[in-house]
Structure 1
Amino acid sequence: MALPEASIQLYTLATEFSADMEGSLDKLAAIGLRNVEAFDFVRRPDEIRAALDASGLVSPTGHAPLLSDELWTPDGAIPTPAPEVVFEAAATVGLKTVIDPFVAPDRWLTLEGVTDIADRLNALVDTAAGFGLEVGYHNHAQEFIADFDGQSAYERFVASTDARVVLELDLYWALVGGQDVVGLVSRLGDRLVAAHVKDGVAPETNPFAPGAGAFGSETLDQRRAGEGDVPLADALRAASGLSYAVIEYDNAPGDVFADIAASYAFLIEGGLAR
């Protein structure tokens, strides 16, 4: 398998990116990155595309809501944009793959809920193709709470989706969900096209489990790649069809650009990405 390309989820530097798009992207390019993963692009596709072009970067993947009726924001819930609106914005930015980044934990606790999530994503495959796009899903840890006949809700979802639906596995959150991360990567096979390269010390309990209480990303003990508990190198080597190794921090431990550079070096110097 050819090495995946290194990328960076722009949520990692959400504050810096929103304040100075082009300057932030220039810093990423100076680190050596050629790819980014866009977020919150539906309301500002032209602005993001212009900044990417100016910095010589591309965004082959991006996150946008597709599977929830409402999108939670710090200012309150708003209706999720129509899929056609999302896909048109994605095409403007230059994406190839639109990935839903989060589905509420309660919807993963029943078989009916999991089936509904899969059905919704399956129904978007052909619509996305009309825009030259594919669709996918990015996990957290709530997908691994429920079990159906010995199969996690996440793997039941994978088995229920169209083979054209791609997967982006967040390696840190899979560990938090109690998974054998390397084994899961291997089982996902060529469906797995992107991985979030994120490290840290897993909390003692799954923060998405019923009764766990509210938590924020600032409570997470995240580390630079290779300095935490996540078997990143072994997991990436277990992948059979990975296209992108996407650096991400929910809670960067220090200066965000220095932390990104350290994780990029882990990937490149370790022969894990190009």
Structure 2
Amino acid sequence: MSQFPLSVQLYTVREALAADPAATLERIAGMGFATVELFGMVERVDLFEELLPRFGLTPSSAHSTLLGIDLVPVLDAARRLGVTTVIDPNIRAETWTDSDAVVLAANELNAVARVAADLDITVGYHNHWWEFGELDGTTALEAFADNLDPAVVLEVDTYWAQVGGVSAVSLLERLGDRVRFIHVKDGDISRDDRAQVAVGSGRMPVAEVLAAAPQAVRVIELDDFEGDVFDALTDSITFLRSLGETL
């Protein structure tokens, strides 16, 4: 069980958020969430600045591209919204098959982290499935982590790790306290987003995953879902609460 309340990645409800932001965030709050993980933070900074406080929501974290861009708008948005951890959600897949490219990406993220630290903002990285090919006797993600400054945190997407061919539980145990956030999701462990289901309804060893990372914020996410995604979130909350997690 984590000391942190459950969060939700708002990408999960992106269609509803685009159609009616206020109603969507009100519904998220009504489900019991007090924290949310943001996406599209720069484009939606005015919207989030207005609506998050209205519904008693605070950011647990935010996803934003951090490499090869102008950082000023990202860091300004984070400061306005009270985001203390900004996580790069995706470094292009071809990076992870080349040792030099992995080291370069790590050094670039380290440089971003030094800039962000001056504003009391922590930087992190979130994986997909393609970071888990073998590289220099380990997984590419772990080779990347070995080259990161200790100040850079990891958000392990436990589902995509499993899809990538590694045990999410073993990965979390190896990475230890470097992991400060985890994406908790479920499904048939395939690359098909629409095969994802409510947490506890698929093939993921969810209880073991949670036990392997007690220090990490749990962020519920569905990349896609065949049905009403709010029903899937409700069922996910029910299951996670049965395991002792709290909102």
User: Structure 2-normalised TM-score?
Assistant: 0.95
RMSD: 1.5
CA 1:221 to 1:135, structure 2 compared with 1: closer, same or farther past 3 Å?
A: same
CA distance in 2, matches of 1:113, 1:90: 28
CA 1:2 to 1:232, structure 2 compared with 1: closer, same or farther past 3 Å?
A: closer
CA distance in 2, matches of 1:5, 1:194: 12
CA distance in 2, matches of 1:121, 1:174: 21
The residue number in structure 2 matching 1:26 is 26
CA distance in 2, matches of 1:100, 1:125: 11
CA distance in 1, matches of 2:214, 2:152: 16
CA distance in 2, matches of 1:162, 1:267: 32
The residue number in structure 2 matching 1:134 is 122
Q: Contact between 2:2 and 2:245, CA under 8 Å: does it hold in 1? A: no
Q: How does 1:1-274 map to 2 (within 5 A)?
A: 2-67=2-67, 69=68, 80=69, 82-145=70-133, 147-203=134-190, 217=193, 220-242=194-216, 244-274=217-247
Please identify which structure carries the higher helix content: 2
Q: Contact between 2:7 and 2:60, CA under 8 Å: does it hold in 1? A: no
Specify every segment of 5 or more residues in structure 2 that has no aligned partner in the other structure, as ranges: none
In the TM superposition, structure 1's runs of 4+ consecutive aligned residues that sit over 4 Å from their partners are none
CA distance in 1, matches of 2:136, 2:93: 19
Q: Contact between 1:88 and 1:131, CA under 8 Å: does it hold in 2? A: no
Tell me the CA shift for residue 91 of structure 1.
1.1
**Which amino acid in 1 is paired with 2:126?**
H
Q: Contact between 1:7 and 1:247, CA under 8 Å: does it hold in 2? A: yes
CA distance in 2, matches of 1:84, 1:165: 19
CA distance in 2, matches of 1:259, 1:253: 10
User: Structure 1-normalised TM-score?
Assistant: 0.86
What SS does the aligned partner of 2:226 have? coil
Tell me the CA shift for residue 227 of structure 1.
1.2
Q: Contact between 1:137 and 1:168, CA under 8 Å: does it hold in 2? A: yes
Tell me the CA shift for residue 52 of structure 1.
0.3
CA distance in 1, matches of 2:199, 2:21: 25
**Which amino acid in 2 is paired with 1:110?**
D
Identity of aligned pairs, percent? 39
**1:159-186, CA deviations, whole angstroms, 9 ceiling, x for partnerless residues?**
1100010110101100000111111111
CA distance in 1, matches of 2:218, 2:246: 7
CA distance in 2, matches of 1:250, 1:60: 18
Q: How many residues align?
A: 247
**Which amino acid in 2 is paired with 1:25?**
L
